[in-house]
Structure 1
Amino acid sequence: MPPLTFALNHMTAPALTLDAFFALAVSLGMTAVEIRNDLDGNAILDGTTPVEVKALAERHGVTIISINALQRFNEWSPARAAEARDLIGYAGACGARALVLVPKNDGTGQADGERQENLRESLAALKPLLDAAGITGLVEPLGFEICSLRSKREAVEAIRDVGGERTFRLVHDTFHHHLAGEPDLFADLTGLVHISGVEDPAVSVSDMRDGHRVLVGPQDRLGNISQIKALLAAGYAGPFSFEPFSPVVHKTADPKAAIAESVAFVRESI
């Protein structure tokens, strides 16, 4: 079984500057980090240049495994193409290895036939852009019932249809995997795993949202430990990246201690 390695997504501590976030990761013994383009007042939205981000990463000795994310990637348009070129260019210049691709999640584009066609169009358009930059496209199906791409199987079929097996990988998100209810793992095509837990006993699965997502602990309802074990047994050897969205996690006084406790719990449970 491959070794268990962890990464840190900036969403774990979004109030920290990029410098402080990288330092937090290193203090936890992690050298893989994910940066985001959706944090107000922080890199990338604050105008921090990719050259500055690359220098920060090198100073801390961390690898930027992804930028999260190109939103609504499966709704292709000239504006989306321009956004994709900008983000891929930023990723290349800051040393990021991959760009996360998030589907539209507003109840549109869900019709059978339409959603598959839209997905293939976008992947086919993204492939040459990513290949030219040497950047991996990380396709992340979302489990929400209103999402236009819930199925990892559909994502895999589309990737193969466009000859994108060397360009694209899946994101297996333990939260979204549980919500989607799709048993297949596709570990061989998985490039990144996002982990978070839900502990609220009152919320139904269909009502679970990002705000419920906390660090993985013994009260988790998503089956993180069984998912992680299954992925490792199937040969997944990449990082497991912490991505909690809950304000409870974001407001914790000692994020290092909270994350370290979750790391210890996962390690002891595997």
Structure 2
Amino acid sequence: MSHPLRFALNRMVAPRLSLPGFIDLAVTLKADAIEIRNDLKGIEIEDGTAPHTIRELCAAHGVRVLSINALYPFDVWNDERRAQALNLAAYARDCGAEALVLCPFNGPADPRTASERAAGLHTALTELAPILREYGVLGFVEPLGFEQCSLRHKRQAVDAIKATGGLDVFRVVHDTFHHHLADEKEFFADLTGLVHISGVEDGDVPLANIRDGHRVLVGEGDILGNAAQIGRLLSDGYTGHLSFEPFADSVHEMDDIKQALGASMAYLDTAQTLANPI
């Protein structure tokens, strides 16, 4: 099975598989890249897996590690965040990960004003840049579309990256779920380092109430416009990976995640073929 689109698997696709099982899943589906996470209990990285173990397993199967997901909340910069950034950057270097995903503060308890949040973003990018350069990894800034999030729009991230002189080490993540939630209109294909894809099929939930638990694989019932978003990014010149990132328990509990992922890949392949006939 081969794809004109470049698919990757975020660890959230199958958090109950072992690392070798997860890599085998990617290889079977001809997805040549994965993302690992530091926020899932009982698996790498949280379980203490050595970085060289990940590097060796992936290298043996010809699989790239696109990112470690994530440094959070990266835009609340302090001594603790610096220590976390240094540890994750070192782990990324040693396991072969190409980038760190950087997620902003997401919660109703943020006491900062809009100007203070903007200043925090500027400070974080300024402090992170030399760390990323030293360890040879990129920083993928991922705005989150939730109303309570401190950084909702890619425009703000792009402007801050440019203002801090970080174009050599920072890119943005285009997450189809968060792009829809934030009602974003702008696409930044040239500055997009990674695309996260997931679908939502429950049309009865108000937009403001949609949460990660609604995120499933992308299919015909998708209400987020994944196919259209991907088409726009490709037409604007994006050539990177589309990484599946479903959070719904219904996906994690599937008996045959390989078949389900294959069907989603086929749906997206077909959608792009129909939209761009030869």
Tell me which stretches of 4 or more aligned residues in structure 1 moved more than 3 Å: none
Partner of 2:118: 116
Correspondence 1:124-163 to 2 at 5 A: 124-163=126-165
- State the identity as a percent: 54
Partner of 2:5: 4
What are the Cα deviations for residues 83-104 of structure 1, in whole angstroms up to 9, with x where unaligned? 0000000000000000000001
Are the aligned partners of 1:109 and 1:148 in contact in 2 as well (CA < 8 Å)?
no
* Structure 2, unpaired ranges of 5+: 273-278
What are the Cα deviations for residues 111-148 of structure 1, in whole angstroms up to 9, with x where unaligned? 22111100000000000000111100000000000000
**Counterpart residue type for residue 255 of structure 1:** I
Partner of 2:262: 260
Q: Distance in 2 between matches of 1:217 and 1:110?
A: 39
With the length of structure 1 as denominator, give the TM-score of the two structures. 0.98
Are 2:245 and 1:243 aligned? Answer: yes
Deviation at 1:205, TM superposition (A): 0.9
Are the aligned partners of 1:8 and 1:242 in contact in 2 as well (CA < 8 Å)?
yes
Are 2:103 and 1:102 aligned? Answer: yes
Are 2:62 and 1:30 aligned? Answer: no
Q: Distance in 2 between matches of 1:181 and 1:240?
A: 20
Q: Distance in 2 between matches of 1:111 and 1:171?
A: 24
Are 2:215 and 1:218 aligned? Answer: no
Deviation at 1:109, TM superposition (A): 5.4
Q: Distance in 2 between matches of 1:60 and 1:248?
A: 29
Q: Distance in 2 between matches of 1:258 and 1:193?
A: 20
Q: Distance in 1 between matches of 2:192 and 2:26?
A: 23
Question: SS of the counterpart of 2:166?
Answer: coil
Deviation at 1:5, TM superposition (A): 0.7
**Counterpart residue type for residue 262 of structure 1:** S
**Counterpart residue type for residue 118 of structure 2:** Q
Partner of 1:60: 61
Question: SS of the counterpart of 2:70?
Answer: strand
What are the Cα deviations for residues 151-190 of structure 1, in whole angstroms up to 9, with x where unaligned? 1111001000110011100000000000001100111100
**Counterpart residue type for residue 181 of structure 1:** D
CA separation of 1:174 and 1:109: change in aligned 2, threshold 3 A: farther
Q: Distance in 2 between matches of 1:262 and 1:110?
A: 40
Q: Distance in 2 between matches of 1:203 and 1:19?
A: 37
